[in-house]
Amino acid sequence: MEWLESFWATYSTLVLSVGTNVLLALSIYLTLSCGLLTVANAAFMGLGAYAAGLLTLNAGMPLWLGVSAGALLAALVALVIGRPTLRLSGVYLAMATLAFGEVVRIVILNMERLTGGALGLNAIPPLTQWFDVALAVGLVLYVLLRLARSRVGRTMAAIAQDETATELMGLNVRAYKLFAFVAGAGLAGVAGALNAHFTFFIGPNEYGFDRGVEILAMGVLGGTGSPWGAVIGAVLITLLPELLRGLGHFRPLINGVVLIAIILYSPKGLWDLLRFSRRHSPTAAA
């Protein structure tokens, strides 16, 4: 057991990051599987992280309460901005959500008395245990896998393929899209809250454009055909830089080359490759 202890001492942050990144990838899977290109998940993650961090740090609340509050805040904000922005589609939706992300970052930056501004929040209690993350990932994955195989999943796949045709099948497309957006935001809030309680420190720039693109990359790389795609994408994007650590200066370069190669050879994501080798189709099995 000794090696396990030393492994955990070295890699615990990495393992926990894999977990929260899986949650983030699943959060963007929800909107991507409806064919919606939103880039606001980093901002929702930030909202969750700050809400939870402030509650545990200043009010001494337990972790589960902080996580719930973080998820709730992110979901509520998503509900408010989702109604007008989800009328947009494609690149325009991406632009609008991108702008929203910047607004969140700048608001956090300027509410210095509450959030600490550019200095961020320091000394957040390290409350997140491995089983908290494992429980969250397990629960979310179960729910999303079941949802994907239900009518909800079938409808979301239909919306991704042809929104108008789906609407004319008597399905309330806008409600489904809002559901995906709000649920994804709540999930990103959970990930942010859990993440804040093992990184000790959070700052506004952690939840900016870079993080937004990273989350998107996890979702797209793994593939949007199944929640498993998001899991694969998140694990790969988190571990790849660590696996390439020996390459020194070339690390970011090779990292990028690997990602481009995957996108070129499997544009529908890694999950699609695996799916075809197993001759299994998630839309066929309902």
286 binds other proteins (CB under 8 A): yes
Query: CB–CB of 206/46 below 8 Å?
Result: yes
Which of 161, 200, 210, 256 is the binder for other proteins (CB under 8 A)?
161
The one segment of 31-39, 169-177, 190-198, 231-239 that binds other proteins by CB under 8 A: 169-177
162 binds other proteins (CB under 8 A): yes
Tell which residue, 264, 212, 217, has the closest CA to residue 240: 217
Beta-strand runs (E) in the chain: none
Count CA atoms within 13 Å of residue 247 on its CB side. Answer: 11
Which of 103, 118, 135, 168 is the binder for other proteins (CB under 8 A)?
168
Smallest gap from Cβ 236 to other proteins, in A, equals 24
The one segment of 122-130, 147-155, 202-210, 244-252 that binds other proteins by CB under 8 A: 147-155
Tell which residue, 212, 225, 214, has the closest CA to residue 275: 225
Which of 52, 93, 96, 158 is the binder for other proteins (CB under 8 A)?
158
266 binds other proteins (CB under 8 A): no
The secondary structure of residue 17, as a DSSP letter, is H
Q: Can you give the C-alpha Rg of the chain in angstroms?
A: 19
Smallest gap from Cβ 220 to other proteins, in A, equals 17
Smallest gap from Cβ 121 to other proteins, in A, equals 35
Token digits for 28?
């963007």
272 binds other proteins (CB under 8 A): no
155 binds other proteins (CB under 8 A): yes
Smallest gap from Cβ 156 to other proteins, in A, equals 10
Which of 20, 33, 128, 166 is the binder for other proteins (CB under 8 A)?
166
Residue 132 or 163 with smaller CB distance to other proteins = 163
Residue 24 to residue 187: CA distance in whole angstroms? 7
Smallest gap from Cβ 166 to other proteins, in A, equals 7
Which of 171, 235, 244, 254 is the binder for other proteins (CB under 8 A)?
171
C-beta neighbour count of 244 within 10 angstroms: 16
Residues near 232 by Cβ (< 8 Å), separated by ≥ 6? 221, 222, 223, 269, 270, 271, 274
- Residues 185, 189, 192, 198, Cα dihedral to 10°: -150
Q: Which residues bind other proteins (CB under 8 A)?
A: 143, 146-147, 149-155, 157-158, 161-162, 164-173, 179, 281, 283-284, 286
